[in-house]
Structure 1
Amino acid sequence: METEHVGVATAVPVDRKSQARRAAIAATMGNLLEIYDFIAYGIFAVPISKTFFSLQSDTVALILTFATFGVGFIARPVGALVIGAYADRVGRKKGMSLTILLMATGTAVIAFCPGYASIGLAAPVIVVIGRLVQGFSAGGEVGGAVAMLHENAPVGRRGLYAAFQQMSQGCGVLVAGLIGLLLSSVFTPEELFAGAWRLAFVFGLLIAPVGIYIRRTVAETPDFLANAHHRKPPVRSTLMQHYRTIGMGVLIMLFWTIATYISNYFSTYAVRELHLSLQESYIGQIAYGVTMLACCPLAGLMSDRIGRKMPMLFGTLLTAVLAYPLFYLLTQWPTLASLILVQVTIGALLACYASCASGVLGELFPTSIRVTGVAISYAIGVMVFGGFTPAIVTWLIVLTGDKLAIAYYLIAAATLSCIPVLLVRDRHAAD
């Protein structure tokens, strides 16, 4: 039995195995709903663009919508610094509770903001504010989730537990796809574009009760409690002393984040470029989410046995080889079957990489700065590489007139990501 200190004079007994299970469930569910709220904006980009951006050109409106999507990533590094330092000083569960409540606030803004037809230019301005709040929150979320999973993992199972972080992201896409399919089945396209899409964000407000649950029932991690008496370095010192490690973490994010947001862009790509229906595009997202749910734990288990590098290299190299033929097949035969094939294949290869990358990020940093280090690496990597991926891909397709531009972008990301994987030290066997 172990104890978690609460206040000054009380101590609550905590069974280590039970604590690990509750922490894993809380971190996974919290991350799932937070990623769902963040990704739902991209999945419902087409109706959002028509609601908040009243322009004659649908293409320009869509690019502005994705640019607003990218704005959320600008706030991520700030959130990573602020929330990461807070979680490293006062505890993981308090940091996670804060991120979840902030995400719920940003989601509520998008769910209930009037459209351009009602309040004019104020509509996109308010949406940008909501995205900034979401981005600030997401900046600290991944660091907190990785730290909670990493620090509660049983001996020899850090890779498996860390893989739950990426699995929960895939589940977030799965839930978003299911909600999209449900809404597109219940409502006509006209009703969906007229405002029924907002129900997806109303559903996302379920994140708030999860935050309350985490704050009340989940114990603080043993690693944090063991190091709680140590003086925490200022954020500036953290950045200066660990800038090489943070830089490595950022590079590890390259393929992870670009492939993730290309996968999330599929709903728009399927409708705009392939002329598939919204329902078919959501089924593709569901297939991707199911693939993540199945493959991430397997990749995590494998990384505990053979190390993190081999699965990561397998994911990047095979993506570089298969991306062009997969997208060529999809553009030449744009059917639901080919869409599912592409999304399942990319999802499986991304699971091999990202599930292990979560473990690598957790192992790069010591306990005293783990949330801050992971959060900053993730936030900068997502902001630089992934946040504007939908806007960049849309722009490249318009500029070149080539629907395969998305494949070239993914191949470049997969190839370049082999470099940090080869350079990083594999610590899977270290205590």
Structure 2
Amino acid sequence: MTSSSTATPGTPAASAGAGTGRALVVGTIGNFVEWFDWSIYGFFTPYFASQFFPGSGSSAALLTLLVFAISFFMRPVGAAVLGIYADRHGRRHGMTLTILLMAGGSLLLAISPNYATIGWLAPVLLVIGRLLQGFSTGGEFGTSASFLVEWAKPNRRAFAGSFQQVSVSLGILLASLSATVLTQVLDSNQLAAWGWRIPFAIGAVIGLIGMYIRRRMAEPETFKMLERTGRREATPFRSMSAGHRRGAWFVFGISIAGSVITYMWLTYLPTYAVLTVGADKADAQLANTIALAFFVVVLPFAALLSDRFGRRPTMLVYATAFVILPFPLLLTMGGSFGSVLLVSVIGMAFLSLNHSNLATVFAELFPPQVRTIGIAFPYAISNAIFGGTAPNVMQFFGSKGNLWAVPLYVSVCALVTGLFFYFMKETKKVDTDDVEMRA
């Protein structure tokens, strides 16, 4: 059965706009918690690393970053399990489960005793907490992307989908603000002893609130249609693998540059500025926080460009910019607050052309029966390989004194992703309710 493109009462097109505002909150709060925790882990690693591992500060920090990387490799597992669950049982049920697991992981990190108290059980609890979060976030992106796009009006899918990345940026922004505030009001000893636990506890509370909100939201009409017509897929992973490999490869390839550039511009840039040009750490952190606020504001406007001109043109501009600009931007950056802020804002302006499109483009590549697993699994694999290792790659370059390799790495990743955009078909006019659609 193929849905009609003409909106009639009771069809997905007619009801898509109903409750969209609430749907935006429901669909995005999980990503907010995910990226808040992800960023908090990066910002506070220097303070809590020695709480979980013995040895010098540098060795403990490297082990803590290794745990960070390992947790990314749970994402494909979570994507497969939770993606299949959401395609079988519904987006709402899938999102409720993912955010419950996220909150549990955050709470475990917030209350875990340190190495001095329980010895090697401390890093074991750290690993368990991060693996739990990695598993849950593996299913979050695909489920929330499906949910948001299926709730959206057909001519505003990119705008609605962009709020997934708005929530990502807000999560990183709140984490950055938390780091800024806590480093101002607490000294290093207080942060290392107990201060680092505060943001993880906040993440757990927000996650539990999100679970309550999600339990009260209805399914998108698109999924209800699958239920009414008996078109839900019994084996979504097998169906996706057999009939939608091209779409899965595009999700994987598009995610390569996004994973690396997101870490570089949204999290690592203050550290890069300190290491390369001797920027003041507080000034660099403040510049990053202001640029993140700019990014949050500009994302919906970038999405409107996509809804007007198409996904492919806007994403090609993004990829081209990051092939060309990393060297001139990063190698000419000065140590002043204004210079770091300018580099941050320029990068985030172009990055918005990609992030405003991601949820929508991925959802438009798959029919609703396999949409969640189709998005979640290849996205999680790409993020595990490129996003999970990004901190270690940057740390390695810095430890060897080869920070010039950072912009080169970013440019190469952008070039690879740009080739996927070049060969991608425009998806703006795709009927996302069409159960017969093939990527």
Q: Same fold (TM over 0.5)?
A: yes
CA distance in 2, matches of 1:37, 1:106: 9
Q: Which residue of 2 aligns with 1:7?
A: none
Query: Residue type matched to 2:42 in 1?
Result: G
Provide the C-alpha distance between the structure 1 equivalents of 2:232 and 2:402, rounded to a whole number of angstroms: 55
Query: Residue type of the partner of 1:424?
Result: M
Name 2:23's counterpart in structure 1.
23
Task: Name 2:353's counterpart in structure 1.
Answer: 352
Per-residue deviation, 1:15: 6.7
Classify the secondary structure of the residue corresponding to 2:116: helix
- Hey, what does 1:325 align to over in structure 2? 328
Query: For the structure 1 residues 208 and 282, does the alpha-carbon distance in structure 2 shift closer, same or farther, using more than 3 Å as the test?
Result: farther
Residue in 1 that maps onto 2:395: 394
Equivalences for residues 17-416 of structure 1 within 5 A: 17-56=17-56, 58-205=57-204, 206-216=206-216, 218-228=217-227, 229-234=230-235, 235-263=237-265, 264-270=267-273, 276=279, 278-330=281-333, 333-399=334-400, 401-416=401-416
Q: Which stretch shifts more, 401-410 or 357-366?
A: 401-410
Q: CA deviation at 1:21?
A: 1.6
The structural deviation recorded for 1:191 is 1.5
1:131-151 alpha-carbon deviations (Å, 9 max, x no partner): 100000000000111011100
Equivalent AA in structure 1 for residue 308 of structure 2: R
Give the paired residue count: 417
**Secondary structure of the structure 1 residue equivalent to 2:155:** coil
Deviation, 1:43, is: 2.1
1:278: how far off?
4.9
TM-score by length of 2: 0.90
Q: What CA deviation, in whole Å up to 9, does each residue of 1:321-371 have, x standing for no partner?
A: 2211221133xx323322222222222211111212322101011001111
| Amino acid in the other structure paired with 1:172 | G
The answer to which of 22-31 and 138-147 deviates more is 22-31
Amino acid at match of 1:418: G
After the TM superposition, which of the residue ranges 235-244 and 411-420 deviates more from structure 2?
A: 235-244
CA distance in 2: counterparts of 1:196 and 1:274, whole angstroms: 29
Q: What is the rounded CA distance, in whole Å, between the counterparts of 1:236 and 1:15 in structure 2?
A: 31
CA contact (8 A) 1:185 1:279 kept: no
**CA-to-partner distance for each residue in 1:300-320, whole Å, 9 max, x for gaps?**
111111111111111121122
* Secondary structure class of the residue paired with 2:356: helix
1:234-261 Cα shifts (integer Å, max 9, x gaps): 1233223322321121001011111112
Q: Decide whether aligned partners of structure 1 residues 123 and 273 sit closer, same or farther in structure 2, where only a CA change above 3 A counts.
A: farther
Deviation at 1:271, TM superposition (A): 5.2
Q: Distance in 2 between matches of 1:276 and 1:122?
A: 38
Asked whether the equivalents of residues 156 and 304 of structure 1 are also in contact (C-alpha less than 8 Å), the reply is: yes
Code of the residue aligned with 2:343 in structure 1: it is: V
CA distance in 1, matches of 2:403, 2:214: 44
CA contact (8 A) 2:33 2:102 kept: no
Cα distance in 1 for residues equivalent to 2:143 and 2:378? 13
How far the C-alpha of 1:277 sits from its partner, in A, is 5.1
36-45 vs 123-132, greater mean Cα deviation: 36-45
Aligned equivalents of 2:425, 2:287: Cα separation in 1: 36
Q: Distance in 1 between matches of 2:277 and 2:191?
A: 20
Identify if the C-alpha distance between structure 1 residues 60 and 404 changes in structure 2 by more than 3 Å, giving closer, same or farther: farther
What is the identity, as a one-letter code, of the residue corresponding to 1:106? Answer: G
Q: Supply the AA of the counterpart residue of 2:371.
A: R
RMSD after superposition: 2.0
- Label 1:262 to 1:325 Cα distance change in 2 as closer, same or farther (>3 A): same
TM-score, normalised to structure 1, is 0.91
**Preserved CA contact (<8 Å) 1:2 1:16:** no
